[in-house]
């Protein structure tokens, strides 16, 4: 059972090392590590070397850190986008929970009990459309097929059936043609196949406000690539820090890519203070969605919750603990 590790850049290797320690605390796994991102550009001349891609294809699952450095800004990200596309990972699940009262910048009475999942479309839209420069300026193109919308919406409806039965579809249908197709397609799928799931539509600007003013109204949020990227960073305010947000990128075949929502955080890289919880919780999602080991996943989540409750927190959460201390506390709590 091989898990491929793509530690990447900045705090990526620091938090992936923590996640590996925690995985080793719940079972026996084989790990195979490959360079990725700016690290791979330095060592192999490309952000996603062929051996790394081949390794990911044959692995049970992939655990990644983050990519990007000051010297290499856009190219490392292109390796990540390519990896997601090559593996056909079109649904990016980003669970967000208010783990503990008073952790983040939002009023406790607003966020207490919030528990939602953003399902972000991951292989279409503006990030992958035709882009370039013209004599006068630059352009990026947003395009979606009905099939691309339907398959990610199906993931969201199914997830809602297992949760509280409510999907919020987020778009900008008052302006964008792709959003009008998005809304029609999600509505049609809901009526035809998921009549028992409550469906609401929100425009993305209004959704951005509701996320931080009334997060408890959300159960499953489904949205396109760009909106999901932005809204999920915003949703970190509900949890308390970007360092608490994991993700699972899934497609139609077994396995998947599991990575924190955050980036390589160059401002704190090498200081030993990165919050490892997003990576550790991503490892829990890997156990749940790729290896079907839900008890171990739940044990890790409970150990993270206990660590937060015990006040063992990194500086992003107002604490003084190091990455290593948080990791040790999670391991001890298993
Ligand atoms: N999935 C990926 O590989 C991603 C890569 N990036 C790349 O990361 C680089 C930095 O981008 P930023 O916009 O600064 O986003 P970022 O997510 O790396 O950092 C934003 C802020 O959150 C803090 N932060 C992030 N993760 C943290 C953690 N685990 N513990 C404590 N604090 C944490 C950082 O210190 C920083 O102040 C860029 O090169 C960007 O392209 C950005 C987002 C995702
Ligand atoms: C390369 C970017 C799209 C990475 C990012 O910000 C993300 O996936 O959240
Ligand atoms: Mg992002």
17 pLDDT band, cuts 50/70/90, is: very high
CA dist., res. 308 & res. 287, Å (int): 21
pLDDT digit string (tens) for 167-224? 999 999 999 999 999 999 999 999 999 999 999 999 999 999 999 999 999 999 999 9
pLDDT digit string (tens) for 252-272? 999 999 999 999 999 999 999
Closest residue by Cα to atom 43, ligand 1, is 263
Closest residue by Cα to atom 6, ligand 2, is 229
What distance in angstroms lies between residue 196's CA and the mean position of ligand 2's atoms?
A: 33
Q: What percent of the chain has pLDDT over 90?
A: 96
Q: Which residues are catalytic?
A: 127, 172, 205, 229, 233
What distance in angstroms lies between residue 290's CA and the mean position of ligand 2's atoms?
A: 21
Give me 192's structure tokens.
Answer: 């035809």
ipTM of model: 0.99
CB atoms inside a 10 Å sphere around CB 43: 10
Q: Do the first three CATH levels of 1-90+245-334 and 105-239 match, i.e. the same topology?
A: yes
140 pLDDT band, cuts 50/70/90, is: very high
pLDDT digit string (tens) for 275-298? 999 999 999 999 999 999 999 999
**Does domain 1-90+245-334 fall into CATH 3.40.718.10?**
yes
pLDDT digit string (tens) for 95-118? 999 999 889 999 999 999 999 999
Predicted local distance difference test score (pLDDT) of residue 257: 98
Predicted local distance difference test score (pLDDT) of residue 72: 80
For the CA of 277, the closest atom of ligand 1 is 29
Q: What percent of the chain has pLDDT over 70?
A: 100
Report the pocket of ligand 1 as residue ranges, CB < 6 Å. Answer: 11, 15, 66-68, 73, 77, 80, 242-243, 259, 262-268, 274-275, 278, 314, 316
Burial label for 308, CB within 10 Å (0-12, 13-18, 19+), is: buried
Per-domain boundaries in the chain: 1-90+245-334, 105-239
What does CATH list as the number for 105-239?
3.40.718.10
Burial label for 82, CB within 10 Å (0-12, 13-18, 19+), is: middle
Predicted local distance difference test score (pLDDT) of residue 260: 98
């Amino acid at each position: 059972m091989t898990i491929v590790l793509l530690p990447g850049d900045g705090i990526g290797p620091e938090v992936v090392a923590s996640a590996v320690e925690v995985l080793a605390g719940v079972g026996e796994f084989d790990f195979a590590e490959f360079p990725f991102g700016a690290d791979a550009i330095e060592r192999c001349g490309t952000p996603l070397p062929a051996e790394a891609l081949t390794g990911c294809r044959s692995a049970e699952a992939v655990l990644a850190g983050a990519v990007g450095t000051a010297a290499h800004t856009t190219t490392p990200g292109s390796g990540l986008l390519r990896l997601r596309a090559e593996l056909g990972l079109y649904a990016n699940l980003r669970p967000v929970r208010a783990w503990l009262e008073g952790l983040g910048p939002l009023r406790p009475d607003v966020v207490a009990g919030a528990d939602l999942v953003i399902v972000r479309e991951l292989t279409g839209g503006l990030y992958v459309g035709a882009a370039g420069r013209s004599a006068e300026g630059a352009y990026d193109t947003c395009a979606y097929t009905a099939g691309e919308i339907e398959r990610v919406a199906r993931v969201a409806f199914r997830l809602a059936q297992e949760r509280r039965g409510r999907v919020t579809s987020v778009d900008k249908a008052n302006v964008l043609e792709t959003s009008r197709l998005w809304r029609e397609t999600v509505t049609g799928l809901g009526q035809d196949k998921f009549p028992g799931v409550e469906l609401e539509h929100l425009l993305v600007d209004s959704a951005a406000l509701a996320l931080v003013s009334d997060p408890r109204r959300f159960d499953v949020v489904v949205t396109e690539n760009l909106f999901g990227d932005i809204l999920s960073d915003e949703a970190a305010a509900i949890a308390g820090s970007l360092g608490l947000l994991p993700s699972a990128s899934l497609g139609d075949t077994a396995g998947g890519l599991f990575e924190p929502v955050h980036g390589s955080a160059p401002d704190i890289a090498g200081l030993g203070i990165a919050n490892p919880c997003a990576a550790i919780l991503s490892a829990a999602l890997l156990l749940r969605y790729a290896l079907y080991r839900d008890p171990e996943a739940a044990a890790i989540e409970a150990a993270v919750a206990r660590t937060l409750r015990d006040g063992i927190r990194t500086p992003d959460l107002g604490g003084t603990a190091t990455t290593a201390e948080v990791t040790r506390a999670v391991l001890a709590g298993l």
